[in-house]
Amino acid sequence: MTEMLLSAGIALLGALLFGRLLLPVLRRLKLGQRILEVGPNWHKTKEGTPTMGGFFFMLAMTAAVLTAGRGEMTDGRYTHLFILLFAWICGGIGFVDDLAKVRNKRNQGLSAPQKLLLQLSAAAAFLALFRSFGYTASELAVPFTSVVLPVPWPVYLTLGILFVAGFVNAVNITDGIDGLCAGVTLPAAVFLGALALSLENTGAAVFSGALAGGLLGFLFFNFNPAKVFMGDTGSLFIGGALCGLAFAMDKPLILVVAGLVYLLEILSVILQVTYFKLTKGKRMFKMSPVHHHFELCGWKEKKIFAVFTAVSAGLCLLAWFA
């Protein structure tokens, strides 16, 4: 518990500090976000808001994990470092995507196949690394049951790669309005920290604390009206962080419950596209992802933030009993 709280505190202060230092740099470099034409028209007022703010909490979390987790390293345990490495790789993919958007002056960077190939490769390397160090077993604990299914490693690896890529992209899609992705993730980080403590997985607890503290500090800059966006740099980092934590505790399926908000977001996109094609132009939602649907129904961004964060907290409470 002490290490987790220390990690959270360092990450919180670090995110505030890095935000103060880096926000003027992002503005000076004119790393402004381009807004999609197909989005809500009032979002055009956000054009030019600095992006890649994910670095605020990514750097802060790194400092927190290395400081609070030094005891783990001394004892030869590197779970928290492997999770951090994977999260940074995912964030790096997002950074390349963000940079391409800024340079091309449009809201599209890497192509979908390019991004997916990089994510699949990163997921495969991460799971193989965890397996080689004995940090994950090829078995699946089914939520709300005592069932643990042994799965042949090739099958587990394949399913794990697909799950990670899908979940990371679901988190990415959730980052659509001010503060939403960070707000939804805060309860998940606290839940995963509590789960890690119950399993006596100190490394995962340290990382969870850093994630919660870093995002709380980032919200100071990202809450509506946002002074900076996390960009794909930050959202893909978060997706990698959550997947890394779940696999580190051998409970990847727990994200289906605790992370259901992310999954509903990406499901709304899939349903919208499928329904549009089947009905030759009709829409199931006013706009997808579903947070934009609520915007077009008249909900303010702060209300969406509050409701989605509360739902995430409720799901995490439910996941505790899974």
Map out the domains of the chain as residue ranges: 2-138+149-253
Q: Assign 5 to helix, strand or coil.
A: helix
The full DSSP string for 7-65 is HHHHHHHHHHHHHHHHHHHHHHTT-BPP--TTS-GGGGGGTT-B--THHHHHHHHHHHH
pLDDT digits (tens, 9 = 90+) for 231-287: 999 999 999 999 999 999 999 999 999 999 999 999 999 999 999 998 988 899 999
The whole-angstrom separation of Cα 8 and Cα 65 is: 9
Mean pLDDT for 126-148 is 89
Residue 99: the pLDDT is 87
Encoded amino acid at 260, one letter: L
Encoded amino acid at 307, one letter: V
The full DSSP string for 288-318 is SSHHHHHHHTT--HHHHHHHHHHHHHHHHHH
Residue 137: the pLDDT is 83
pLDDT digits (tens, 9 = 90+) for 96-112: 988 888 777 666 667 88
Residue 133: the pLDDT is 87
Bridge partners, residue 176, by sequence: none
For the record, the structure tokens of 108 come out as 């599209």
Q: What are phi and psi of 136, to 5 degrees?
A: -145, 145
For the record, the structure tokens of 74 come out as 């001394």
Q: Assign 321 to helix, strand or coil.
A: coil
Mean pLDDT for 91-98 is 93
Supply the mean pLDDT for the chain: 91
